Amino acid sequence: MGYDLNMRVWRGDATGGGLQDYVVPVEEGEVVLDALHRLQATQAGDLAVRWNCKAGKCGSCSAEVNGKPRLMCMTRLSMYEPDEVIMVTPMRTFPVIRDLVTDVSYNYEKAKEVPAFAPEPRRKDGTYRMQQEDVERVQEFRKCIECFLCQDVCHVLRDREGKEGFVGPRFMIRVAGLEMHPLDTADRVPETKNEYGSGYCNITKCCTEVCPEHINITDNAIIPLKERVVDRYYDPIRIIARKLFLGARGKGEAMAEQFELKNISVDAIGEALVRAEHYRLLNEPEACESICRDILAADPENREATIKLIMSITDQFFGSANPGVNEPRELLAKLDDEFERTYFAGLICEREARAHLERGQYRDFAYDGFRDAMELYEKAEAISPPNNNNAILRYNSCVRTIRSKNLEPPIPDDRELGLD
Ligand code: SF4
Ligand code: SF4
Ligand code: FES
């Protein structure tokens, strides 16, 4: 049954405006956007209101209804009492263009700041593969319709003139979707801390409450991103060690980008190689990696440093900050000896497979990795120097792991994955 709805609608533009009262006849089952369209058609032909799909999918009709950020096309009038005044105002966080239409271009500028998806190279058979649980984890973030209601409600964006410092919940979602993508190789953790301003969010969860796609923005995206930043930059053991041994630092020195790397002399390379090996044996691959980079800066073709760098990077496959397989594979090109190139290519595959196993997932990827490694070890064996059985030793180790862990080949799957 129809009735007369009392509406209060904000009218005005960037120079100012105010609320105007209207009485609009509405029908049962209608939404706020229907009432505004009738208002536009019968009483206020110049009312500006942005919409497209009227199905909750384009994210255009965002506004505030009785002070709460909502999609107007998904807000049923039956949620309110028939005699209740329904107040419709533009999103408060963004500058008004006219009436209910706001300028959301801030969001498009922020979108440009997030580096795009950077997939690892395709596998040898030309495909990419992902575990279903990884697909599901990032799928939640891809439901975003860019309505910017979460940006509107976020007090950090509302309260900060110019919105500098924090990209807001919508783009924390975007970053999380990329950072958690199992095929992505880019590292966005430094930007998450600095440019994107993850520290500004104090987990009030207001953004999660208004999301029409029911994305769990805080628990599933922002908190995991904050944890990654904390793991990287606020490890308490490192902080204590710095305080004990280095004393207080000036605030201006906190930005790593301000420091210049120092060069080592060519004469010091022999000693540096010994130290690099020492740190590897102490299970400190990052320290070994750093020394190898210093050696290669002084002597770019140094074979031993190249090999140690490959080893120290692949040592880190087993940690939470997996550096990815791209760089070690690229380093292989620096090795002149074909046996070494082939043997270490096998080692990279094997170590990647072992890292998959250690994380308790990707058993079929692990199987593929071991098989790739074994193929490379067999090739290396055929060209190995006399009395060098390293390739055989590694081959046998792969065979024993496949047997003891009961690893099996993946089930063939011809489906293509959407990977943008
Ligand atoms: S939880 Fe964080 S991002 Fe979400 S509204 Fe609150 S401060 Fe903003
Ligand atoms: S995360 Fe939710 S509220 Fe934020 S823009 Fe996407 S769909 Fe809208
Ligand atoms: S008109 Fe598309 S979401 Fe409302």
In 41-145, beta strands by DSSP E: 62-65, 68-71, 86-89, 96-98, 101-102
Strand 96-98 relative to strand 101-102: parallel, antiparallel, unpaired? antiparallel
The pLDDT, as a whole number, for residue 260 is 84
User: What pLDDT sits at residue 361?
Assistant: 57
In this prediction the pTM is 0.61
Summarised one tens digit per residue, pLDDT across range 46-104 is 999 999 999 999 999 999 999 999 999 999 999 999 999 999 999 999 999 999 999 99
| Regions of the chain with pLDDT less than 70 | 160-163, 235-258, 319-324, 359-362, 411-420
Measured from the Cα of 54, ligand 3's closest atom is: 1
pLDDT at residue number 358: 79
Q: Ligand 1 within 6 A of 205 CB?
A: yes
Residue 52: CB within 6 Å of ligand 3?
Answer: yes
**pLDDT score for 282:** 83
Distances (CA, A) of 250 to 7, 246, 247, 339: 57, 12, 10, 50
User: Which of 60, 171, 211, 225 is the best mutation target for the ligand 2 pocket, counting ligand atoms within 8 Å of the beta carbon and taking the most?
Assistant: 211
* 324 φψ region: left (φ > 0), alpha (ψ -120 to 50), beta (else): left
Ligand nearest to the CA of 153: 1
Pocket test for ligand 2, best of 213, 218, 220, 222 (most atoms within 8 A of CB): 213
pLDDT of 339: 95
Q: Give the tens place of pLDDT for each residue, 265-321.
A: 999 999 999 999 988 888 888 899 999 999 999 999 999 999 999 999 998 887 655
The pLDDT value recorded for residue 241 is: 64
pLDDT of residue 386: 92
213: Cβ below 6 Å to ligand 2? yes
**Which residues 6+ apart lie within 8 Å of 100 measured at CB?**
9, 10, 36, 47, 48, 49, 50, 63, 88, 89, 90
